[in-house]
Amino acid sequence: MVLNLRRLAADHAALHSKLPPYYLVQPEDGHFAAADDLSQVNILLTGPPGTPYSEGLWRLQLKIPEDYPNSPPKATFRTRIWHPNVEEMTGAVCVDTLKRDWQSRLTLRDVLITISCLLINPNPDSALNSSAGNLLREDYDVFAHQAKLMTSIHAPIQPALHGAVQEAKHRGEDPGSVHRETDTHQRPRKQQRIQTGTTMKSNRPPSEYIPHPPRDIAIHPQPVPEDDPMQMSDDDENDDPASASKENNPSLSPTPVRLAPPSSPRKNAFGKRPLSVLSLAYPEDPDTEMMLVDSDSEPENDTDTPKQA
């Protein structure tokens, strides 16, 4: 009996020195036994983040039997909670750790951690609330909606306890907790990517990183060459008449050139016959007029020309 009391006192002292995550000590309100009563533990439990119970705060009581630690304590929710492993009317908790899996080496701290894990991972196979267990199997979204609704009705967080609740939740982010394990499981991927990029840069020899000297952007005038061979050759070709005649010579063309047929000697470009020039001797008198006659056309009566006798 004395050994049991020593063990019980040590477990209480461990709880007062450091509470498990999501737990906080309730203020004295006269509803429960005094803090020096070792036969029971009265404590507050807040819902872990990421669960349907994250916005709630419940009163939890542990009743410790006289033969503790040979027999497990009994856990009861004094605040109503809608949970598959908690009887809705009495608040009794059903968990294997407090029944067939109990071992005398387990402490009160281990019991509290086990109950908080039920809020994270409910077990519908050992349900005391059959409606909650069946809904959890069928549709988790509907179950979560119902659990949030019941939490907001029966277990809202009082404004005066918001600071203590946030501190209890931060305690759950310590290494080894469920929420912290999720974060540390994802962080090595990001760190690995950063280290890979740094390693690729450091593998290059330092000689490749020698900066180039600054470029001289000053403009220096350069002398113009007197004789440009390319320009002289072009000018010689343009000035050479033989080269010019070769370019216009159709016989040197790689493709045959078709020339237009000669026009008729009797027609000019406008389709009229050329005029024949009368072979007359030039008179000595410069005032004498000279006439051009079309040999093919009929003679016209010129009234203006005087007849010769």
Sheet order of strands, 23-24 included: 23-24, 40-46, 57-63, 74-77
> Is 117 marked active-site?
no
β partners of residue 24 = 44
Q: Is 106 exposed, middle or buried, given 0-12, 13-18 or 19+ CB atoms closer than 10 A?
A: middle
Single-letter residue type at 52: P
The pair phi, psi for residue 282, each rounded to 5°, is: -70, 125
- Report residue 220 CA to chain centroid gap: 51
User: CB within 8 A of 184, min separation 6: which ones?
Assistant: 175
The answer to whether the peptide bond before residue 69 is cis (omega within 30 degrees of 0) is yes
| Strand runs labelled E in 186-270 | none
Catalytic residue among 94, 98, 136, 150: 94
Which of the residues are catalytic? 94
